[in-house]
């Protein structure tokens, strides 16, 4: 199939060997690329029950068939591995420029297996593949080591690194790229660290095979023109995603004080306008993006002076609101610290917020912290704790395994406010007064992440008290939004500009020569969703409905302040949402895909494993 580079690169870090094999045609047709390749290759290649941080886990990095091509937003890369944070399916996406570079080097997927006996990095320059010594980079910050590698190899190399948090296998360690973009979630950086893999450096000079170059030029031009002509094209970029901060407060969905409430009175001190006025140097975009969301800037006060990309909205929410930072400079500084340590700023802000609430409640005491405090609003305390976590010292060791682990270890009712699903910390939208958004988090296939289904405007329009109809919308979004991850494109042109979805089958045909209707693309997306669900069923003993609930705070504690005051969704409501969702998905009442559904989606190969678990689960 055109569009693909045509090869899979497999690297074994245990013995330092590699192989380059042709991309299987059926994999390309049935799974398209990116997230589809990640899901299928993990299912096929990672044996059931392996330790996520052991040598038998694998990392898959995959661009998609349209990645790198002349069309808006073609710069995304999908990473995946069995997640150390959750024990289930894990993936995470990053923009920047490395994904096209992998295609230009000639690869549609990189599979990394085994474990090096000392720190190494993976060097890829077209057909030259080397596992190189990384002793001099080990221990360095994620961005610091990227800077060093760029200096050593050249500006044209695109580099993904981990920081000390990844090296120390913190469960929410990220993979960092392009000076401040991250594949942040599910602990993919910890898996790199577990393999002693500090970095991946890529340079490629090849062209991407196109079915019809003239058609690609024509459709690509029309797509960019379409973006330029959209209402508000010029106005979206200045603030980027942080432009939504005030609005999320206005609707009462802003994580505040470890999700105790959903409104931060000082939100206008940490919003997009503050970023523009106090931090921004330049708009920093990914490859082929007409609306660059990255805000590269400098946070300078008497206490610190740092360059940092961001904060984007999620960081504003989880560091800003959730730990109650009162200035945008403090948010940016905490963001910088997370970036260098290689900590996901979503889980990072969530975990620190959790620890601060534990401290407030006396679960953690000053004595345990050698006199240090953990106060909401203190960037000093935030940074201190991040360093403890990244180096696994003191209480940082338990927190490095995420809030689920720490709350189980510490007890004392902390499980109630460990804000996670399936072991992954909740991201930037509170769900107690947004049932579709709540259900999105409950059923997201990597744990509590927003990006598979961002449904909060649907809640507002359809009625925020209402539960009926929400499951159908969530399922629709869970197929549309991850479609972009299959093709490894950015979805922001669609979401933020309203760029029409019917462009994608058109450009898909121009690039690949294959005709996929929109419904065909949605079918692939549904196939992958059911495969990742099956992966959970396979890997987690007793997996089912019980893993789809939010923490008790969300079903028992009314929101205490702000526009959503008094709201929450009691268990009966959550059950109604799940019942609807499972029924519409063709899953049983325990949330396990049915035989019919698997067969309908050409996932018959998963049926045997799933059937075993199905019989042991709750009766349908």
Partner 1 sequence: MRLQAISSNCSGCKVCQMLCSLVHFKENNPKKAALKIAGRFPAPGDYELTVCTQCGVCVDVCPTGAIQEKDGAYVLNREECIGCQACVEACPENAFVVHADETAPIKCDACGECIKYCPRGALVDADGVLQRVAK
Partner 2 sequence: MPISVLVRGHTASYFPEGKDELEVVWSGPITVRQLLADLGVDSLLVMRVNVNGMKVTKEHILADGDEVLFFSPPAGG
Q: Which residues bind partner 1 (CB under 8 A)?
A: 68-70, 97, 100, 104, 143, 147, 155-156, 178-179, 205-208, 210, 213-214, 216-217, 220-221, 224-229, 281-292, 294, 296-298, 307
Question: What's the closest the beta carbon of residue 289 comes to partner 2, in angstroms?
Answer: 14
Q: Which does 217 bind (CB under 5 to 8 A by kind): partner 1, partner 2, none?
A: partner 1
The residues pairing with 113 across neighbouring beta strands, listed in sequence order, are 12
| 42 exposure class (CB count in 10 Å sphere: 0-12, 13-18, 19+) | buried
Residue pair 53/74 in contact (Cβ under 8 Å)? The answer is: no
Output the CA angle 149-154-159, nearest 5 degrees: 45
Q: Would you tell me how many other CB atoms lie within 10 Å of the CB of residue 581?
A: 21
Which C-beta is closer to partner 1: that of 104 or that of 543? 104
Question: What's the closest the beta carbon of residue 543 comes to partner 2, in angstroms?
Answer: 27
Q: Which does 549 bind (CB under 5 to 8 A by kind): partner 1, partner 2, none?
A: none
Q: Which does 43 bind (CB under 5 to 8 A by kind): partner 2, partner 1, none?
A: none
Q: Which does 605 bind (CB under 5 to 8 A by kind): partner 1, partner 2, none?
A: none
Q: Which does 427 bind (CB under 5 to 8 A by kind): partner 1, partner 2, none?
A: partner 2
Which C-beta is closer to partner 1: that of 155 or that of 596? 155
Which C-beta is closer to partner 1: that of 48 or that of 229? 229
User: Measuring CA to CA, which residue among 613, 594, 593 is closest to residue 533?
Assistant: 593
Residue pair 390/342 in contact (Cβ under 8 Å)? The answer is: yes
Q: Which does 292 bind (CB under 5 to 8 A by kind): partner 2, partner 1, none?
A: partner 1
Which tokens is 305 given? 């002076």
The residues pairing with 299 across neighbouring beta strands, listed in sequence order, are 306
Which C-beta is closer to partner 1: that of 282 or that of 546? 282
Give the total residue count for the chain: 620
User: Measuring CA to CA, which residue among 40, 39, 37, 193 is closest to residue 103?
Assistant: 37
Q: Which does 232 bind (CB under 5 to 8 A by kind): partner 1, partner 2, none?
A: partner 2
The three state secondary structure string of 132-143 is: EECCCCCCCCHH
Gap between the Cα atoms of 179 and 288, Å rounded? 17
Which C-beta is closer to partner 1: that of 11 or that of 69? 69
Question: What's the closest the beta carbon of residue 340 comes to partner 2, in angstroms?
Answer: 20
Gap between the Cα atoms of 110 and 60, Å rounded? 6
Question: What's the closest the beta carbon of residue 287 comes to partner 1, in angstroms?
Answer: 6
Question: What's the closest the beta carbon of residue 190 comes to partner 2, in angstroms?
Answer: 21
Q: Which does 498 bind (CB under 5 to 8 A by kind): partner 2, partner 1, none?
A: partner 2
Gap between the Cα atoms of 417 and 205, Å rounded? 50
Gap between the Cα atoms of 253 and 448, Å rounded? 15
Q: Which does 6 bind (CB under 5 to 8 A by kind): partner 1, partner 2, none?
A: none
Q: Which does 236 bind (CB under 5 to 8 A by kind): partner 1, partner 2, none?
A: partner 2
Question: What's the closest the beta carbon of residue 70 comes to partner 1, in angstroms?
Answer: 4
CA distances from 50 to 113, 114, 183, 605 (A): 13, 12, 22, 20
Gap between the Cα atoms of 120 and 167, Å rounded? 11
Question: What's the closest the beta carbon of residue 272 comes to partner 2, in angstroms?
Answer: 9
Which C-beta is closer to partner 1: that of 292 or that of 469? 292
Question: What's the closest the beta carbon of residue 462 comes to partner 2, in angstroms?
Answer: 9
Gap between the Cα atoms of 607 and 533, Å rounded? 12
Question: What's the closest the beta carbon of residue 285 comes to partner 2, in angstroms?
Answer: 15
Specify whether the backbone of 383 is left (phi greater than 0), alpha (psi in -120 to 50) or beta.
Answer: alpha
Which C-beta is closer to partner 1: that of 234 or that of 465? 234
Question: What's the closest the beta carbon of residue 75 comes to partner 1, in angstroms?
Answer: 8
Q: Which does 281 bind (CB under 5 to 8 A by kind): partner 2, partner 1, none?
A: partner 1
Question: What's the closest the beta carbon of residue 328 comes to partner 2, in angstroms?
Answer: 15
Residue pair 132/198 in contact (Cβ under 8 Å)? The answer is: no
Output the CA angle 137-139-143, nearest 5 degrees: 65
Q: Which does 497 bind (CB under 5 to 8 A by kind): partner 1, partner 2, none?
A: partner 2
Which C-beta is closer to partner 1: that of 297 or that of 551? 297
Strand locations in 3-133 (E): 7-12, 17-22, 59-62, 77-82, 89-94, 109-113, 120-125, 128-133
Which C-beta is closer to partner 1: that of 97 or that of 257? 97
Question: What's the closest the beta carbon of residue 251 comes to partner 2, in angstroms?
Answer: 6
Question: What's the closest the beta carbon of residue 30 comes to partner 1, in angstroms?
Answer: 25
Which C-beta is closer to partner 1: that of 178 or that of 539? 178
Query: Which spans of this chain sit near partner 2 (rule: CB under 8 A)?
Result: 230-233, 235-236, 240-244, 246-248, 250-251, 312-314, 317, 346, 427-428, 450-451, 454, 457, 460-461, 492, 494-498
Gap between the Cα atoms of 463 and 436, Å rounded? 10
| 88 exposure class (CB count in 10 Å sphere: 0-12, 13-18, 19+) | buried
HSE (CB half, 13 Å, CA atoms) of 594? 13
User: Measuring CA to CA, which residue among 390, 388, 422 is closest to residue 403?
Assistant: 422
Q: Are strands 158-161 and 197-203 parallel, antiparallel or unpaired?
A: antiparallel
Which C-beta is closer to partner 1: that of 67 or that of 350? 67
> What b-and-e string marks burial along 61-75, b requiring 16 or more CB atoms within 10 Å of the CB?
bbbbbbbbbbbbbbb
């Amino acid at each position: 199939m055109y569009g693909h580079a045509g090869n899979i690169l497999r690297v074994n870090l245990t013995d330092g060997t590699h192989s380059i094999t042709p991309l299987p045609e059926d994999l390309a047709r049935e799974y398209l690329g990116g997230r589809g390749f990640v899901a299928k290759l993990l299912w096929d290649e990672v044996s059931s029950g392996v330790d996520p941080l052991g040598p038998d886990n694998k990392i898959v990095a995959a661009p998609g068939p349209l990645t790198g091509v002349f069309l808006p937003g073609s710069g995304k890369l999908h990473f995946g591995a069995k997640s150390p944070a959750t024990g289930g399916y894990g993936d995470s996406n990053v923009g920047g420029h490395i994904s096209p570079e992998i295609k230009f080097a000639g690869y549609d997927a990189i599979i990394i297996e085994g474990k090096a006996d000392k720190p190494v990095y993976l060097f890829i320059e077209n057909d030259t593949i080397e596992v190189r010594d990384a002793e001099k980079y080990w221990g360095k910050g994620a961005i610091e080591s990227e800077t060093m590698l760029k200096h050593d190899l050249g500006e044209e190399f695109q580099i993904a690194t981990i920081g000390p948090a990844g090296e120390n296998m913190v469960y929410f360690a990220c993979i960092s790229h392009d000076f401040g973009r991250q594949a942040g979630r599910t602990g993919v950086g910890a898996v790199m660290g577990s393999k002693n893999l500090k970095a991946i450096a890529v340079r490629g000079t090849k062209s991407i095979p196109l079915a019809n170059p003239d058609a690609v030029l024509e459709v690509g031009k029309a797509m960019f023109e379409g973006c330029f002509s959209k209402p508000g094209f010029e106005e979206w970029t200045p603030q980027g995603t942080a432009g939504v901060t005030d609005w999320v407060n206005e609707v009462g969905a802003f994580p505040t004080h470890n999700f105790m409430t959903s409104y931060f009175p000082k939100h206008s001190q940490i919003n997009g306008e503050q970023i523009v006025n106090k931090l921004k140097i330049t708009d920093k975009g990914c490859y082929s993006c007409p609306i660059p969301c990255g805000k590269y800037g400098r946070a300078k006060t008497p206490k610190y002076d740092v360059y940092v990309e961001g904060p984007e909205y999620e960081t504003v929410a989880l560091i800003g609101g959730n730990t109650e930072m009162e200035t945008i400079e403090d948010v940016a500084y905490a963001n910088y610290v997370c970036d260098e340590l290689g900590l996901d700023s979503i889980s990072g802000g969530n975990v620190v917020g959790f620890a601060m609430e534990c401290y407030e409640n006396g679960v953690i005491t000053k004595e345990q912290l050698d006199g240090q405090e953990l106060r909401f609003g203190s960037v000093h305390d935030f940074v201190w704790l991040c360093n403890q976590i990244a180096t696994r010292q003191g209480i940082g060791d338990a927190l490095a395994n995420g809030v689920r682990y720490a709350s189980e270890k510490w007890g004392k009712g902390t499980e109630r406010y460990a804000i996670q699903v399936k072991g992954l910390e909740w991201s930037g939208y509170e769900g107690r007064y947004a049932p579709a958004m709540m259900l999105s988090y409950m059923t997201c296939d990597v744990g509590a992440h927003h990006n598979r289904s961002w449904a909060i405007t649907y809640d507002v329009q359809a009625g925020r008290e209402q539960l009926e109809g929400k499951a159908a919308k969530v399922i629709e979004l869970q197929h549309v939004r991850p479609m972009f991850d299959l093709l490894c494109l950015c979805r922001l042109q669609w979401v933020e500009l309203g760029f029409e979805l019917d462009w994608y089958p058109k450009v898909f045909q121009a690039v690949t020569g294959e005709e996929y209707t929109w419904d065909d693309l949605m079918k692939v997306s549904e196939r992958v969703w059911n495969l990742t669900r099956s992966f959970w069923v396979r890997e987690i003993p007793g997996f089912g409905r019980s893993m789809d609930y939010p923490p008790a705070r969300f079903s028992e504690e009314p929101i205490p302040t702000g526009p959503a005051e008094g709201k929450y969704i009691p268990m009966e409501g959550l059950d109604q949402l799940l019942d609807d969702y499972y029924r519409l998905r063709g899953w049983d009442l325990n949330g396990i895909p049915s035989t019919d559904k698997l067969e309908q989606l050409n996932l018959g190969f998963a049926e045997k494993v799933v059937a075993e678990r199905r019989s042991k689960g709750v009766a349908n």
